[in-house]
Amino acid sequence: TEHFWWRITQCMANEHPMWFKNGEKCDQKVEFEDWESRFTPADWGTSDLFETLEDCCIAKLWYDIDGCLDNSPREMTFTFTIDISEFNDPSHCQDADITGNALEMAINVGLPSNAASFVTGIGCVTLGRNADTDSTECGGCLAGSGFTGDTDGTPVVEDATGAVSTVTVEVRINSDA
């Protein structure tokens, strides 16, 4: 990120929906232009992006929070798990992030355009997003190990014969208010 901080959202392939003010309501999207990115050094040029609809309404439409909530799209979230055979748990966070992104892309193909999937766990690894940097953070068995662990960042290939990994997926579906 040292060389591409001005495009960190695009460079890091932000796939995390954020809420923003859109007239007298808050709306949500995933892809942002350079100038819309919340994640710039020293907070210059940041836009007002929020993790939740409630945070957006409170901060941007504080004078009519109920109206904002009523006029904004609704979001339904559900979670499911799948067991994948012949699949090892990730050995470092970068591996978990790449695997999670690939699984999300495959799942999203079958979802309607107003829905998106987010892999939140692969085996003993939990995946989350750092709200300050928009970077993937790993927890569970990889908590505190750094993004590439004790590797140089190249994929670790190990025999997965007989291995089964449980993947946890969150799906968010938005609809107009």
Residue 36, pLDDT score: 64
Residue 47, pLDDT score: 58
Contact 162, 84 (CB under 8 A): no
The 8-class DSSP code of residue 34 comes to G
| pLDDT above 80 (res 60) | yes
Average pLDDT of span 138-152: 80
Q: Is the pTM of this model over 0.75?
A: no
Residue 106 CA neighbour count, 13 Å, CB half: 8
Burial class (CB in 10 A: 0-12, 13-18, 19+), 35: exposed
| pLDDT above 80 (res 31) | no
Residue 45, pLDDT score: 47
Residue 134, pLDDT score: 67
What is the pLDDT confidence band of residue 114, given thresholds at 50, 70 and 90?
A: confident
